[in-house]
């Protein structure tokens, strides 16, 4: 059942978390936290998303705060390090924040940078992790088909685990997968799943070898589990640069998957200067626990967004709640 808007607003806390490194063009991550009957939950769609897309994130917050999570099949989730589009010299410092991580996801195709920058960054990650480490790259759909093929050839010597969302469209992913099949580098779909009106189109088109799933944009844990089951592809659970509360949502999703072949992108609390929990879900020995973290009133106060941003976010909650009400009435 959809909780009343008043119930959401009564416990809402809007926070602003400074980041250690610019990521996705931002240095501060904002979120709304609610305390539901089952604990704290999070609503944090990126600011550029429209209300229709953001409403799925509110549905996810309600799912986690008001509905029991599925049975957990594991109590710890192995996680990867996330390496933003930093200079190669900065890579060791980034990796040091991910205690024990054996896998790194490296951002590539950053606007304003070159393929040479990507090669240097990926080389630095490979050297830091050694031959047994796993290196995956994420282009966030910023290459066209030919650029993607050329870049993957240039980065292949670093023994890539997979390449995430190299191109924007499902057709491009399918064609790229055909072109690079002989190289043995799997293609993962992220934006083509979480931003699509039909998240199963990727699987039907044979456009990916695995799916990257995120609890918030897919409407919550239960919705994401259905998508993975229907797609019939391996899945890696990743974050949307959430606070520890949102990361917990992702950890419960990963815990409920029947198979968990890949390290998950749920170590991103390490990208924040501070967090809403006194015991944040940062990686320790390469894993995070499957728990609901305690939320600190002191930290909520210290990280409180200013009045203008708080009003902006609560207006967004109201609009998205109206969308969910209309959908429920259909």
Spatial contact of 84 and 268, defined as CB atoms under 8 Å apart: no
Strands 76-78 and 81-83: unpaired
| Residue whose token pair is 């240039």 | 154
User: How far apart are the C-alpha atoms of 127 and 140, rounded to whole Å?
Assistant: 24
Annotated active-site residue 181? The verdict is: no
Q: How far is C-alpha 129 from the geometric centre of its chain's CA atoms?
A: 22
Give kind and range of the element (H or E) at residue 14: strand 13-23
User: How far apart are the C-alpha atoms of 224 and 199, rounded to whole Å?
Assistant: 10
Strand partners, 138: 107, 164
Residues in Cβ contact with 142 at an 8 Å cutoff, skipping those fewer than 6 apart: 109, 110, 111
User: How far apart are the C-alpha atoms of 330 and 328, rounded to whole Å?
Assistant: 6
Of the candidates 105, 107, 181, 195, the residue annotated as catalytic is 107
Spatial contact of 213 and 228, defined as CB atoms under 8 Å apart: yes
- List strands edge to edge, sheet with 134-138: 81-83, 103-107, 134-138, 160-164, 187-189, 210-213, 235-237
Catalytic residues: 107, 214
């Amino acid at each position: 059942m959809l909780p009343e808007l008043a119930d959401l607003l009564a416990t809402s806390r809007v926070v602003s978390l400074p980041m250690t490194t610019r990521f996705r063009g931002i240095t501060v991550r904002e979120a709304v936290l609610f305390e539901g009957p089952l604990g704290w939950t999070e609503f944090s769609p990126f600011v550029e998303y429209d209300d229709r897309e953001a409403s799925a994130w509110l549905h996810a917050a309600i799912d986690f705060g008001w509905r029991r999570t599925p049975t957990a099949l594991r109590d710890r989730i192995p996680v990867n390090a996330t390496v933003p589009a930093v200079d190669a010299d900065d890579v060791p410092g980034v990796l040091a924040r991910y205690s024990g991580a054996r896998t790194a996801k490296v951002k590539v195709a950053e606007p304003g940078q070159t393929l040479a920058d990507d090669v240097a960054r990926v080389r630095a990650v490979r050297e830091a992790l050694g031959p047994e480490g796993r290196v995956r790259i994420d282009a966030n759909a910023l290459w066209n088909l030919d650029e993607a093929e050329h870049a993957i050839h240039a980065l292949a010597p670093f023994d890539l685990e997979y390449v995430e969302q190299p191109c924007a469209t499902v057709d491009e992913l399918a064609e790229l997968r055909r072109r690079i099949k002989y190289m043995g580098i799997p293609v993962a779909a992220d934006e083509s799943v979480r931003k699509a009106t039909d998240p199963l189109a990727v699987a039907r088109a044979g456009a990916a070898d695995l799916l990257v799933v995120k609890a918030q944009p897919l409407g919550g844990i239960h919705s994401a589990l259905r998508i993975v089951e229907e797609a019939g592809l391996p899945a890696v659970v990743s974050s949307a640069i959430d606070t520890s509360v949102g990361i917990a949502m992702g950890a419960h999703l990963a815990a409920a998957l029947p198979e968990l072949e890949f390290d998950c992108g749920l170590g991103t609390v390490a990208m924040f200067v501070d967090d809403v929990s006194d015991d944040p879900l940062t990686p320790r020995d390469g894993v995070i626990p499957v728990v609901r973290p305690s939320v600190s009133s002191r930290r909520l106060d210290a990280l409180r967004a200013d009045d203008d941003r708080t009003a902006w976010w609560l207006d967004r909650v109201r609009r998205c709640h109206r969308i969910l009400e209309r959908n429920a009435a259909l």
